[in-house]
């Protein structure tokens, strides 16, 4: 490698390293070695090949010097040809080992990426909903991309670089000192002149690179948020496009200015180091040539010293930056380990059992619950804040108790924020209760839905397997989410083995069959991000169809028909009524007209059940439910009267 190449490589390594340093963590190193263990065979081969390549790199200058000596000594063409053949053989061997080294480093590096990404992805899937409500998606995805790639560089580049450079440095020094200790020592005197600009200017370039990365990340975030369907709608309705454009232009202009400044600094950096290398070579040729003329050094040895000079400066420069590179890799590992060290609040017990077959009853027994604080479910770096919000832990449900027998429907009504959706989330185990229990089990003789617990209680949801819970419960929320995939893929999410006939059947029940059959691609139609290619009502009915195809024994509807107009709501309610026949249902509804037929209605206010009974019983009691009903009825009457044209 030429000195110019050494300069560029040094510049690249320094500017890509993260600033700052901290002591090595033995625990981090142990965990890193844990990821290396599955690849130890390839790692050993990789290190061995790197050492062999270091020997070959030193052998070529030595052979070149012998060629010069043979020519000067007129040893004959045979000797020169033999040495030339050896140089060619070394070159072929170096190329072959280079290919092997490249294959090994790629295999190890990509293998580590797969291991890390899979481990993080699997772990993140186990995190509670509270984690996702706090975390910025972009920051989380960055851990799976940038930090994972930064971590694998420790295996693919830094490891082999340190080993091969140490070997190359030792061999080069031994050969150079053995050839001429005087020239070697004087050449080493120029080393500080080589390293000082690398340190100072490289640090400035690293700062510029990080600033440019921050501006690019900010522009990326701005584009991601503004170019999504809801983001673009918000900007068009309430945003200020001119100001958005100016803000984007300022950042882009700063990146441009940094790019120009970086280019000039890089040129200055490389020019300075190339000049130093030229001075070092001048010293070798001048002093070495003088010693050769004086008969104190063979002419070929001057060539050996000149060629070995780059072999000396290159590993010295690389090793001087090795600690920065290693710390950079460890920082990436630690950022990945931060995610892996977050313990999921919701975990499956080792001895968890399946939900028993047959009809399922739902029971809440003196349930109390408070949403977890941020420090239990999140990281400041993922929320992109200096410190986590310490608020939380305030109880939002106070002694909730009720029972729903198999085939019965319980409706939860009340003011916004009263705790209705929280009850639904506890039933589906998106959160765990703080005290009391949520149970699933069979029917209890004499246990009315309105309150009696009876005997033979079911199993605590914390004792059940996740798979059986998913098979037993199905839920539709007000904000029904769809993936940016086909209609068929979104339906098969709930039941992978579903046939086309099954899908058309549930689409017919959800009053979507005609609309989807009219689409050019039918079931293969891609619904767009979050289903935004569909109308709000169509999107919600598709989520209901997904629930129907899952055929759960317990159904949770959290404002499931809120996005539908009156005609579609009545049709879907009829479809749900037929589909929910014989199934246990928990329904949360704002429009009280949709839950009149419920077996029992629970009125929830401020985290407590304040009333329970049937529609008729609650109206007769003239309490909170009657107040809500009269308010909605009055509003509906007023709207209807306004819709009647004046004569």
What's the pLDDT tens digit per position in 257-272?
A: 888 887 887 777 667 7
Tokens of 463: 């004792």
Whole-angstrom distance, CA of residue 441 vs CA of residue 406: 9
Quote the percentage of the chain above a pLDDT of 90. 9
Pairing of strands 435-441, 409-413: unpaired
Query: Can you tell me the mean pLDDT for 203-231?
Result: 71
Report whether pLDDT(24) > 60: no
- 270-284, 379-393, 534-548: which has the highest mean pLDDT? 534-548
Q: State both tokens at 501.
A: 């006939």
Task: Give the burial string for 202-219 (b: 16+ CB within 10 Å, else e).
Answer: beebbebbeebeebeeeb
Question: Do the domains 361-377+393-640 and 3-14+22-340 match in fold?
Answer: no
Mean local confidence (pLDDT), 572-595:
75
Cα 255 to chain centroid distance, Å, stands at 26
* Per-residue pLDDT at 629 exceeds 90: no
Structure confidence at residue 438 (pLDDT): 93
For helices 241-293 and 3-16, what crossing angle results, to 10°? 140
How many C-alpha atoms does 353 have within 13 Å on its Cβ side? 10
Any idea which fold 361-377+393-640 has? Rossmann fold (3.40.50)
Please write the tens of the pLDDT for every residue from 127-150: 888 778 777 776 677 777 777 776
Q: Could you tell me where the beta strands, DSSP code E, fall in 490-538?
A: none
The yes-or-no verdict on residue 615 having pLDDT over 80 is yes
| pLDDT the model gives residue 317 | 65
- 346-370 pLDDT, tens digit per residue, is 888 899 998 888 888 999 999 999 8
* Pair of tokens at residue 23: 């002591």
Q: What is the pTM of this model?
A: 0.69
CATH fold for the domain made of 3-14+22-340: ABC transporter transmembrane region fold (1.20.1560)
Q: Looking at residue 645, what is its pLDDT?
A: 45
Confidence class of residue 292 from pLDDT cuts 50, 70 and 90? confident
Concatenate the DSSP letters of all residues of 76-135 into one string.
Answer: -HHHHHHHHHHHHHHHHHHHHHHHHHHHHHHHHHHHHHHHHHHHHHHHHHTS-HHHHHHS
Tens of pLDDT, residues 174-202:
888 888 888 878 777 766 665 666 566 66
Residue 647 has pLDDT above 50, yes or no: no
Q: What is the mean pLDDT of the chain?
A: 78
- CA 582/CA 577 separation, integer angstroms: 10
**Residue 640 has what pLDDT?**
42
Q: Is the dihedral of CA 601, 603, 608, 609 positive or negative?
A: negative
pLDDT (0 to 100) of residue 455: 42
- Burial of 138 from C-beta contacts in 10 A (0-12 / 13-18 / 19+): middle
Q: What is the pLDDT of residues 515-531, one digit of tens each?
A: 888 888 888 888 877 77
Give the range among 13-17, 135-139, 399-403 with minimum mean pLDDT: 13-17
CA 550 from chain center: how many Å? 29
**Predicted confidence band of residue 67 (pLDDT cuts 50, 70, 90):** confident
206 three-class SS: helix
Mean per-residue pLDDT for 270-279?
72
Domain boundaries, the chain: 3-14+22-340, 361-377+393-640
pLDDT per residue over 51-64, tens digit each?
888 888 888 888 88
């Amino acid at each position: 490698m030429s000195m110019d190449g050494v300069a560029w490589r040094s510049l690249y390594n320094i500017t890509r390293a993260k600033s700052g340093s901290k002591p090595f963590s033995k625990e981090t190193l142990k965990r890193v070695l844990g990821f290396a263990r599955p690849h130890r065979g390839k790692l050993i081969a990789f290190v061995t090949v790197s050492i062999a390549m270091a020997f070959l790199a030193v052998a070529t200058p030595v052979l070149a010097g012998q060629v010069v000596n043979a020519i000067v000594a007129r040893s004959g063409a045979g000797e020169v040809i033999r040495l030339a053949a050896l140089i060619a053989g070394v070159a072929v061997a170096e190329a072959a080992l280079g290919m092997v080294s490249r294959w090994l480093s790629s295999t190890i590096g990509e293998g580590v990426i797969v291991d890390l990404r899979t481990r993080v992805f699997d772990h993140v899937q186990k995190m509670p909903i509270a984690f996702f409500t706090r975390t910025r998606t972009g920051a989380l995805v960055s851990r799976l991309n940038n930090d994972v790639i930064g971590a694998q560089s420790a295996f693919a580049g830094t490891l082999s670089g340190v080993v091969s450079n140490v070997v190359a440095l030792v061999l080069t020094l031994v050969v150079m000192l053995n050839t001429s200790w005087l020239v070697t020592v004087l050449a080493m005197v120029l080393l500080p002149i080589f390293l000082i600009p690398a340190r100072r200017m490289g640090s400035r370039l690293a700062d510029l690179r990080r600033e440019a990365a921050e501006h690019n990340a900010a522009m990326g975030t701005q584009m991601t948020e503004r170019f999504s369907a809801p983001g673009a709608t918000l900007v068009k309705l309430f945003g200020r496009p001119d100001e958005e454009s100016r803000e984007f232009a300022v950042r882009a202009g700063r990146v441009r200015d940094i790019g120009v400044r970086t280019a000039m600094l890089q040129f200055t950096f490389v020019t300075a180091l190339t000049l130093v290398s030229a001075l070092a070579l001048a010293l070798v040729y001048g002093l070495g040539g003088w010693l050769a003329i004086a008969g104190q050094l063979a002419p070929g040895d001057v060539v050996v010293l000149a060629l070995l000079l780059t072999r000396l400066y290159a590993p010295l420069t690389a090793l001087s930056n090795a600690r920065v590179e290693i710390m950079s890799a460890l920082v990436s590992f630690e950022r990945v380990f931060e995610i892996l060290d977050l313990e999921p609040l919701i975990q499956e017990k080792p001895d968890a059992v399946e939900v028993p077959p047959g009809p399922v009853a739902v029971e809440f027994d003196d349930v109390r619950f408070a949403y977890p604080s941020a420090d239990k479910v999140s990281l400041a770096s993922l929320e992109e804040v200096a410190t986590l919000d310490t608020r939380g832990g305030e109880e939002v449900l106070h002694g909730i108790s009720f029972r729903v027998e198999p085939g019965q429907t319980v409706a939860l009504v009340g003011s916004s924020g009263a705790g209705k959706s929280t009850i639904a989330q506890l039933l589906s185990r998106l959160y765990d209760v703080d005290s009391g229990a949520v149970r699933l089990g069979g029917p209890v003789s004499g246990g009315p839905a309105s309150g009696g617990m009876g005997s033979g209680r079911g199993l605590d949801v914390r004792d059940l397997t996740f798979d059986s819970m998913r098979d037993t419960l199905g839920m539709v929320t007000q904000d029904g989410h769809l993936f940016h995939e086909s209609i068929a893929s979104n339906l098969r999410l709930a039941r992978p083995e579903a046939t086309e006939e099954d899908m058309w059947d549930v689409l017919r029940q959800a009053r979507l069959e005609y609309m989807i059959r009219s689409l050019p691609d039918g079931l293969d139609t891609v619904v767009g991000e979050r289903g935004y290619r569909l109308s709000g009502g169509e999107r919600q009915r598709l989520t209901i169809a997904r629930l129907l195809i899952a055929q759960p024994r317990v159904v949770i509807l959290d404002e499931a028909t809120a996005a539908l107009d009156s005609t579609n709501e009545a049709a879907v309610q009829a479809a749900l009524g037929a589909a929910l026949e014989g199934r246990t249902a928990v329904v949360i509804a704002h429009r009280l007209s949709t839950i009149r037929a419920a077996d029992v209605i629970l009125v929830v206010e401020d985290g407590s059940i304040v009333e329970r009974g049937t529609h008729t019983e609650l109206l007769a009691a003239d309490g909170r439910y009657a107040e809500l009903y009269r308010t909605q009825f009055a509003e509906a009457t007023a709207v209807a009267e306004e819709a009647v044209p004046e004569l």
